Structure 1
Amino acid sequence: MQRKKWYAIQTYAGSELRVKRQLEERVRKLGWEGHFEPIRTNGEVEYFFVPVEEVITSRSRRGRSSEYWIPYEYDLFVKTNERVVRGDLIARRAPRHLEQPALVEKVEPLWRVVVELTNRAEVEYLVPQEKGLRRDIRVGERVRPGIPITPDADERYLIDVKGQIVARERVRRLTLRYDDGSQQRRIIPEVYLPARLREGQRLPAGAEIEREHKIYSRATGLVKVKEYKDKRVVTVQRIEKRRLIPGYVFAKMGLDEEQMFELLRGLEGSVRFVGSRSRPIPIEGKEMAFIQRKAGLEEVPTAEPKAKAPKVEVEFEVGEVVQIVEGPFADFTGEIKEIDKEAEEVVVSVKIFGRETPVRLGFDAIERI
């Protein structure tokens, strides 16, 4: 048996995984497993690998679909830099029950619209459901003072702040009267309201007034948790997988030249070993070490690959002028002076009262102009 060495197999960019699958099948069909160094990935043994790296881009960091607003009364089940997959539980709030008997005096169906300000504070608007909402009153829409909420532009229901809509939901406002004569109003989303709750109903102590609420991840990625005065904001940063070297498949093998050419014979598309036409050339030294290191792959056959943190890719550049979209300097523009990839922060020079002032911000607090 030949001494095992690393070789590169060249194919068309975009067809690497198909070629890898065909090569895996052929090795097993020919019974040549012993001629290859097994590579353990995710608990499975393979003989070929396509080097990829995980990247978090600014597109991955921004995007309301991957942000979750978690009040402090919720139990949080994730933490910063933890990986989650779609469907994982992020937070839970237990069911709520009445502490004493109460009479349901009134049940009002309302629309609840929440606008988040640049300092992460929130302003809530409640509109009778029969009034309806304008089509452009939707989550993710940026708003300014004076924008009407209802289709008939009723002046009683106008946006009076500048920010972004982060919630739009149907709720019920319950008016409860307790035996001691006190009154309480509670706003409950319709989806968490117990069935058959109606006006005039008398509820005993311990009755469930709001069902359990669980928040699940809508995406797969890396978690970031930020804490604010009245809530935590959980962001799931989507992780993109990119080919490190498009058009190449790698393997450590101990085949003779005749066997190597037999391995590729008849495969779909253009597939060849890197080297001369008649002689494949092994890849050694720092080039192969670089590929393995970037791919997070360990060469020891019995060892699982170490968990490798995704690379943070910065789409901003020093000297670029950006707009600040979050925090006390929102709406200012400034020039990027420094970029800290590890902390995911930039230093932006902002002109205030005619004087340049350096401001340290997170990547998600700025946007390209």
Structure 2
Amino acid sequence: MKRWYAIQTYAGSELKVAELLEERVRQLGLERKVTAWKLNGSEVRFLAPIEEVITSKARRGRTGEYRVPYEYELKIEPNKRIQKGDIIAVKPAKYMSFDAKVKSIETLQRVIVEMSNRNEEEFLIPLEKRIRRDIRTGEKIPPSVPLTTDSDPNFRTPAVKTTVVQRDRVKRVQLERLDTNEIVTLLIPEKYLVRLKEGVTLKKGDLIEKEDKIESRASGLVKIKEYKDKRVVTVQYIEKRRLFPGYIFAHMEMGQDVLQLPEGIKCRFVGNPPLPLSEEDMKVVKRKAGLLEAPKAVGPKIEVAFEVGEVVEIIEGPFADFTGAIVELDKEREIATVTVKIFGRETRVDLPFESIQKI
């Protein structure tokens, strides 16, 4: 009778060892004694399941966060995956909606700082003034700091700690409408402004500002938060990890011939003689490998306050039906880190709040 068995090897070598064991099965003619599974179009006999974990590598201040002003159109959806190079948002090109004459063009230095509540303040600084060297994008600034080397009080940060979120040059363009003589002022980033000269006449439909796109610098899971002045898009890094580092699993009919499988390969059966694993313990492995469907939560999400140290039951996903103790809570991401006992040892797993319930 075939049973599930665990094979131990060095962490990080699971895939290579699994390949060597597959080859050994063919060499010894044990195809009938070791069950083959169809996974992702391939036939495999040895399982080294992985789990996907959202890590903190893309939290605030890292490369995974993007400032998206409301004039940009989002091209992504929250809780969806995107790939590096995908478009996050687009600011459409702007065209003249009236005939006008260019009265003046002034170049300004722009600094935008963000407060702890994510509100922003914009400073437009004349080109003849020098901005201090420490005023750089991403730099944290103490309260009430002058932005210019001459300490001009007109360009001083708020009386709270701030972070520089943008520093660039813009053009302040004054247009005189030909139909009403009204003066219209536009503020356009220098790199997106079309070539203009004072005194030039612009016709209705002429391009005035080029399109801008924000591309993702990484692959991951999208989170979107809205604030007064902008949206903040975070691309959370998804890391693939071995669910059980150093272990491979196989469904086989144990015998003297099968015992020869690990010979010459840096691995060994768990137990002497090899100990079969229970179907209950194997649920997690089979669900992660795609051999068994994971239960899904039924009904609306119920918001429950959990506490560290509390024992909960897992109700969906590969670990459904297991119980464990909460060791960490991330309320912002609504993730609980729970320890569950599998194969006689404790394993930490990250679970959404909706995947657990109080006992």
Going from structure 1 to structure 2, the CA distance change for 1:261 and 1:189 (only over 3 Å counts) comes to farther
d(CA) in 1 for partners of 2:19, 2:190: 49
Q: Check conservation: 2:173, 2:186, Cα contact below 8 A.
A: yes
Out of 292, 297, 302, the position equivalent to 2:289 is 297
Aligned to 1:164: 163
CA distance in 2, matches of 1:124, 1:149: 12
Q: Which residue is equivalent to 2:14? A: 16
Mapped pair 1:273 → 2:266? no
Query: Is the 1:39–1:48 Cα contact (8 Å) retained in structure 2?
Result: no
SS of residue matched to 1:65 = coil
- Distance in structure 1 (CA, Å) of the matches to 2:157 and 2:331: 38
* Equivalence for 1:80: 78
Bigger shift: residues 78-87 or 93-102: 78-87
Contact 2:102–2:176 (8 Å) recurs in 1:
yes
What does 1:130-209 correspond to in 2, within 5 Å? Answer: 130-162=128-160, 163-179=162-178, 180-194=180-194, 196-209=195-208
> Partners of 2:3 and 2:10 in 1: how far apart?
23
CA distance in 1, matches of 2:25, 2:193: 59
CA distance in 2, matches of 1:142, 1:11: 47
- For the structure 1 residues 260 and 228, does the alpha-carbon distance in structure 2 shift closer, same or farther, using more than 3 Å as the test? same
Once structures 1 and 2 are overlaid, which stretch shifts more, 92-101 or 229-238?
229-238
Q: Which residue of 1 aligns with 2:279?
A: 285
Seq. identity, %: 48
Answer yes or no: is the 8 Å Cα contact 2:97–2:204 preserved in 1: yes
Q: Which stretch shows the higher mean deviation, 80-89 or 54-63?
A: 54-63
TM-superposed deviation, 1:188: 1.8
Letter of the 1:297 partner, please give it.
Answer: A
Please give the alpha-carbon distance, in whole angstroms, between the structure 1 residues aligned to 2:138 and 2:164. 5
Q: CA deviation at 1:96?
A: 0.8
Distance 1:306 1:110, change over 3 A: farther
Which of 94, 105, 108 aligns to 1:107? It is: 105
Aligned partners of 1:83 and 1:275: how far apart in 2? Answer: 41
Which runs of no fewer than 5 residues in structure 2 stay unpaired?
Answer: 298-306, 310-327, 337-359
Q: Kindly tell me: are residues 176 and 342 of structure 1, through their superposed partners in 2, closer, same or farther at Cα, counting changes over 3 Å?
A: closer
User: Which whole-Å deviations, capped at 9, do the CAs of 1:230-272 have from their partners, x for residues lacking one?
Assistant: 432222222233333221122334575425524x3433xx322
How big is the shift at 1:14? 2.8
Deviations for 1:294-343, whole angstroms, at most 9, x for unmatched residues?
Answer: xx33315xx8x8999xxxxxxxx869xxxxxxxxxxxxxxxxxx957597
Residue 142 of structure 1 deviates from its aligned partner by 2.2
> Contact 1:60–1:237 at 8 Å: present in 2 too?
yes
Q: Which residue of 2 aligns with 1:38?
A: 37
CA 1:108–1:285 in 2, change beyond 3 Å: closer, same or farther? same
Residue matched to 2:52: 54
Instruction: Note if contact 1:61-1:237 (Cα within 8 Å) is conserved in structure 2.
Output: yes
Q: Is the 8 A contact 2:109 2:169 kept in 1?
A: yes
Normalising by structure 2, we get a TM-score of 0.71
**Cα distance in structure 2, aligned partners of 1:259 and 1:136:** 67
Is the Cα–Cα contact under 8 Å of residues 37 and 253 in structure 1 kept in the other structure?
no
Partners of 2:71 and 2:237 in 1: CA distance: 27
**1:297–1:306 CA contact under 8 A, matched in 2:** no
Aligned to 1:123: 121
Code of the residue aligned with 1:299 in structure 2: it is L
Distance 2:26 2:94 in 1: 58
1:91 paired residue number:
89
Query: For the aligned residues, what is the CA RMSD?
Result: 3.5
Q: Which amino acid aligns with 2:211?
A: E
Q: Is the 8 A contact 1:6 1:283 kept in 2?
A: yes
Q: Give yes or no for contact 2:120–2:229 (8 Å, CA) kept in 1.
A: no
Aligned residue for 2:15, secondary structure, equals: helix
The separation in 1 between residues aligned to 2:102 and 2:158, in whole angstroms, is: 32
TM-score computed with the length of structure 1 as normaliser: 0.70
2:220 is equivalent to residue 239 of structure 1: no
From the superposition, tell whether residues 260 and 318 of structure 1 become closer, same or farther in structure 2 (CA, over 3 Å). Answer: closer
In structure 2, distance between residues paired with 1:112 and 1:97: 23
Equivalent residue number for residue 313 of structure 2: none
User: Deviations for 1:158-212, whole angstroms, at most 9, x for unmatched residues?
Assistant: 2234222221223222222221322222222233223x33333322211111111
Q: Structure 1 pair 292/60, CA: closer, same or farther in 2 (3 Å)? A: farther
For 2:334, the equivalent position in structure 1 comes to: 344
